[in-house]
Amino acid sequence: MVLFPVLRNWSAPQESIQISGQKAVLCEFHQNLLYRITVNLTLKKGHQFHEFRKGVMKQKNCRVLLQAMRLERDRAMNGLASRKHPKPYFVSYLVRSTEKHNVWGRYGAVWHEATSEKRQCYADIRVGSYVFDHVPNGGLDDNCDEAESFDMIDLPLECESDAVRFSLWRLTDARYREAVADYYAKKSRDLSFINLNKGTRSFIKLAPETSHKRLQTFSPPKEQHRKLVRRLSEVFKPFPEIKNSYVELTTRLQTKLFVSSEGVERVWQEPVVELVAYFWLLGRKNEDQGMTLSFMAHDSSQLPSEKRLEEALRERIQVTYKLDRAKILNSYAGPVLLSAKAAGLFLHEAVGHRLESNRFLADDEARAFKDKLQKRIMHPDLSIVDDPTVRSWKGQPLVGAYTFDDEGVPSQRATLVEKGVLKGFLASRSPYKRGQHRSNGHARSQGYERPISRMGNLLVRSHSSKSWEVLKEEMCEELRRRNLPFGVILYEVEGGETGTDAYDFQAFLGEITIASQIFPSGRERYIKGVDFVGTPLSSLNQILAVGCELSLDNGHCGAESGLIPVSTVAPPLLMSNLELQAKAPTKVTNYRLPLPWFESPSSK
């Protein structure tokens, strides 16, 4: 019997089954039926499976999609008008055609491998006018997976014009009805509540423009990826305390097509490769230590060498064993030295999300920095821009780079902070104040969510000349000056979160994976069990000094418009005070038997 996971991306030769022509459709839409049909298949000798790849994005497919998008755009603009309801003033389609190859393995073997395709469309049907339309709260709430249109975002993988147009027609009708309902709800709200954004236009218009970027084919080196996953996953095998681990390598090429009623037409691609290595160590006191290392790039050739990857894994394993013996710190408030990576996460959560201008349009957002333009908000040795036009930094890939944003606007450099003074915001096509407004190309989304202003490449510049060693010495001096027993250095962090709602606490959190106590003498010892927390305005005022050595961190950022790739370049920061709070403790019982390859000869 052939197992289903093997079948999902393969089709049998025509000689083996008379309905081979229909099988491809069954493979995508009726997998259970396909499973029953193929259970008893017998292949003739010499036949081999071949990969089902008819839907690969090519120039011909691109032309078919664009023509279908143009036709349905024109029909929507001309045919959705009604005497009873507001008509569309703007229609756009953003099609994402995603090709992905994933290899997942552990202990020297590939466990799962899949090549997949997905094609979806985000349809923006705006009713009303550029002055006042249906979109409430800056679009932050337009992400409901229970909306009727959510089940209609998928497009056929095969680029048959009528099939594509059918999908767009159905999606457009649902989005139009949802937009009209939101328009009336927004109007009726004005009967009871004052509109805080009254006089601010809803949307800005773009001039007609066409830009089709050259398309690359999706051809990841699959065998090379398998070998890399096998070799790296074997690194964990000699360590008996590591009870679980895996290595995953994912290659993704997303082709985007944008067509709007304003005459804007775009075609571009966004490639991303990510290697993730995870291991779980069950320590001496049954305390679990989970560690994740992630490496991201535009292409697998940009990843570190296999030798460097192995070294990074072994270094992290050794540190994790030391952390297993480290002291648990339940809470702390005092001087903290943030490594460049930790400082990047701090600035991303405390500042970056609060400079996304769509948030200023939402009634329930706190707008912490909206009235702070031309005012000092942080240390004068810091300047910040967000520049998605830059694809690399010191030879390293920036995965937050993109050519156009998801509203069809070319990506642009946005100056946010100059020497501590707030200079601007991340802007989409939705104005956040009265008067002239210009998008700086930062509207982004993952899939069905409405694009809102988001970070891309957050690049923090240091105007300081202080090295890491100088910052550590200044930390020790601060401890001695304040007669404190110790301070804390944050070396590695894994992720964070922040709340920007007005009704909730204005706070952020960063997950700490590697940290140490530092004593006035300069001696250090590892600690564990805490994460850093704080409030943005207060924490920014606690920056005592800025380092000069910048470091890059590539990752993913999640918000209302979905999960997107981002990059952060930042220097180390010395804080006079930052609070650390306890993690939720996790203790589990140990396995009754050791890992099979550690079985002692006497017990066999």
Query: Which residues pair with residue 281 across a beta bridge?
Result: 242, 289
pLDDT attached to residue 33 = 39
Residues 19 and 155 in one domain: no
The lowest-confidence range among 206-215, 283-292, 341-350 is 283-292
Is the entire prediction scored with pTM above 0.85?
Answer: yes
3-state secondary structure of 311: helix
What value does the mean pLDDT take over residues 254-271? 98
Q: Distance between CA 254 and CA 257 in Å, rounded?
A: 10
Residues 244 and 311 in one domain: yes
Say if 176 falls within a structural domain.
yes
Mean pLDDT score across all residues of the chain: 89
How many domains, in total, are found in the chain?
Answer: 3
- pLDDT tens figures, 228-245: 999 999 999 999 999 999
**Cα–Cα separations (whole angstroms), residue 558 to 413, 449, 454, 555, 562:** 21, 12, 10, 10, 5
Dihedral over Cα of 137, 138, 143, 146: its sign: positive
**Averaged over 466-484, what is the pLDDT?**
98
Burial of 521 (0-12, 13-18, 19+ CB in 10 A): exposed
3-state class of 294 per DSSP? strand
List, for residues 388-435, the tens digit of each pLDDT value. Answer: 999 999 999 999 999 999 999 999 999 999 999 999 999 999 999 988
Residue 360 and residue 303 share a domain: no
Calpha distance 79→87 (Å, rounded): 9
Encoding tokens for residue 430?
């939705």
Contact 482, 497 (CB under 8 A): no
CA distance linking residue 103 with residue 140, whole number of Å: 34
Q: Is 363 exposed, middle or buried (0-12, 13-18, 19+ CB in 10 A)?
A: middle
**Residue 257 forms part of a structural domain:** yes
CA neighbor of 334 nearest in space, from 488, 464, 187: 488
Please give the pLDDT value at position 603: 55
As beta bridge partners, residue 123 has 93
pLDDT score for 452: 97
Is the domain of 39 the same as that of 117? no
| CATH number of 154's domain | 3.30.2290.10
Distance (Å, rounded) from C-alpha 533 to C-alpha 497?
10
| Boundary residue ending a domain (275, 306, 325) | 325
pLDDT > 50? residue 11: no
Identify whether 525 is part of a domain: yes
Q: Which residues contact 190 (CB under 8 A, 6 or more apart)?
A: none
Q: Is 593 a domain residue?
A: no
**The pair of three-digit structure tokens given for residue 83, joined into one six-digit string:** 């005497």
Element (H, E) at 448: none
What is d(CA 182, CA 166) in angstroms, rounded to the nearest whole number? 25
- The secondary structure of residue 43, as a DSSP letter, is P
Identify the bridge partners of residue 559 per DSSP, sorted by sequence position. 562
Output the pLDDT for position 83: 79
Question: Do 366 and 305 belong to one domain?
Answer: no
Cβ within 8 Å of residue 484, ≥6 positions away: 334, 335, 478, 520
- Same-domain status, 46 and 70: no
Q: Given CA atoms 201, 203, 207, 208 in this order, what sign does their dihedral have?
A: negative
| 20 neighbors 12 (Cβ within 8 angstroms) | yes
Tell me which of 325, 353, 388 is where a domain ends.
325
The Cα–Cα gap between 94 and 117 comes to 17
Q: Which has the closest alpha carbon to 367: 536, 168, 192, 218?
A: 536
Are residue 64 and residue 115 in the same domain, yes or no? yes
111 contacts 131 by C-beta, under 8 angstroms: no
Residue 103 belongs to domain spanning: 54-325
pLDDT value for 34: 38
For range 199-222, the mean pLDDT:
95
Quickly state the pLDDT bin for 601 (edges 50, 70, 90): low
With respect to residue 453, please indicate whether it lies within any of the assigned structural domains: yes
Element (H, E) at 77: helix 59-79
DSSP state of 61: H
Q: Give helix 31-38 / helix 20-29 axis angle, nearest 10°.
A: 130
Query: What DSSP designation does 18 have?
Result: T
- Same domain flag for 180 and 307: yes
Q: Are 559 and 498 in contact (CB under 8 A)?
A: no
The encoded tokens of residue 267 equal: 């075609």
Residues 38 and 67 in one domain: no
State which amino acid sits at residue 355: L
Domain-embedded: residue 239: yes
**What is the structure's pLDDT at 56?**
58
- The whole-angstrom separation of Cα 176 and Cα 76 is 9
Residues 47 and 58 in one domain: no
Residue 207 has which token pair?
Answer: 């001039």
Question: Is the residue at 590 inside a domain?
Answer: no
Contacts of 124 (CB under 8 A, 6+ apart): 90, 91, 92, 93, 94, 175, 450
Instruction: Name the pairing type of β-strands 264-282 and 242-260.
Output: antiparallel
Q: Are residues 169 and 251 in the same domain?
A: yes
The whole-number pLDDT of residue 258 equals 98
Q: Enter the tokens of residue 100.
A: 């992905």
pLDDT at 115 over 50: yes
One DSSP character per residue, 153-171 reads: -B--SS--HHHHHHHHHHH
Q: Between the CA of residue 131 and those of 128, 135, 192, 434, what are the distances in Å?
A: 8, 11, 21, 11
- Which of 265, 290, 325 is where one domain is finished? 325
pLDDT of residue 57: 65
CB 155 within 8 A of CB 119: yes
Is residue 588 included in any domain, yes or no? Answer: no
Residues 293 and 422 grouped into a single domain? no
Residue pLDDT, tens place only, 522-550: 999 999 999 999 999 999 999 999 999 99
